[in-house]
Amino acid sequence: MKQAFADKVLTWFDVFGRHDLPWQKSLTPYPVWISEIMLQQTQVQTVIPYFNRFMARFPSVKALARADLDEVLSLWTGLGYYARARNLHKTANIISEFHQGEFPRSQQDLLQLPGIGRSTAGAISAICFNERVAILDGNVKRVISRVFAIGGYPGQRETAEQLWAKAEAVLPHDRINAYTQAMMDLGATVCVGKAPLCGACPVNEACLALERQSISDYPGKKPKVSKPTRSTIMLVVKTQAGEIRLAQRPPEGIWGGLYSFPELTQEELDALTPHLPSPPRALAQLKHSFTHFHLLIEPILVEIDAIGDIPRIDREAWVSEDNSEAFGLCRPAQKIIQTLLG
């Protein structure tokens, strides 16, 4: 079945696959790497405008390495999972400094770079260098789990090992470059999460989940875990001229390196209030969800006449309508600023 599976996928890809995505114009490591990182946890249609802007500003790995992290994060604002952008910048510097601007060609060597895991390394080495290695992004996991009826949540070790083993077992010996793209396309356009187009699938005759009429059971769902809710107060300072004070967060941790608002406890706000130049005013609450918890945010607005009317804070910056795109902003800060600046 091994070669028959790959042949059918490749034949389908030649006719129905996507061949005009921006990163397919040049299947060289740099654009493929940028696209693979952006596509982690993010849909293609969302990624395309970000990819185009990013490549226009940083057309090469050396250009990315020379850039300030702040600018990289500003172009990433809205894509989420900002550790991806920080790792891109780190990796660009490593490739420029230690690899003379050339990407390693093998999956194993690519795995040594920040932010590049097994599947991403496999995609780069397979697409760009035709290395015979498997990938297992979310789309490919779905195809493999359904065709071969591999149950269980893919995030669990035992299930992941089964998926990797099967993905490697059906690899063709030729056209690895095209096959890798074909498998991603098959999962993204036909073997989709809900209402898959089984009639259009090139391997539907071999699909065990379809045969058993249990498509919805694969892949297995993530075990539900109740997320705790945490609370914080964000202090928002705005001048009469419409300048809004931000503070850059530490490089590591939640929203690392991004700009947000200083966070306070209720006790700290109570102690600070008598010393503020105007009474604080509560804005609409926000709820932001992370992988492991929900964050309930209470923005508190303090209006001042001019920047000099309030003491400076560490790593502060002032944003206005004229320069708002110059900062990498966390999502709650984006929403608050949009509300205040209209």
Q: Considering only CA atoms, which of 107, 114, 258, 127 is closest in space to residue 184?
A: 127
User: What's 302's DSSP letter?
Assistant: E
* DSSP assignment string, 178-195: HHHHHHHHHHHHTS-SSS
Q: What is the largest CA-CA distance in the chain?
A: 75
> Residue 16 is which amino acid?
F
Rounded distance, CA 199 to CA 295, Å? 43
Distance between CA atoms of 208 and 3, rounded to whole angstroms?
A: 17
Residue 51 is encoded by which pair of tokens? 């990819």
Look-up: residue for tokens 């008598």? 274
Residue count of the chain, please give it. Answer: 342
Written as six digits, the tokens of 160 are: 């992941």
Q: Which phi and psi (to 5°) does residue 110 adopt?
A: -65, -30
| 146 token code pair | 């359904």
| Catalytic one of 36, 211, 263, 267 | 36
- Per the rule left: phi > 0, alpha: psi between -120 and 50, beta: everything else, 313 is beta
- State how far the Cα of 312 lies from the Cα of 300, in Å rounded to an integer: 18
Angle at 141 between CA 139 and CA 147, to 5 degrees: 105
CB of 283 closer than 8 Å to CB of 264: no
Q: Where does residue 125 rank: exposed (0-12), middle (13-18), buried (19+ CB within 10 A)?
A: buried
Q: Look up 36 and say whether it is catalytic.
A: yes
The identity of residue 62, as a single letter, is: K
Question: Which one, of 154, 116, 98, lies nearest residue 29 by Cα?
Answer: 116
Active site residues: 36
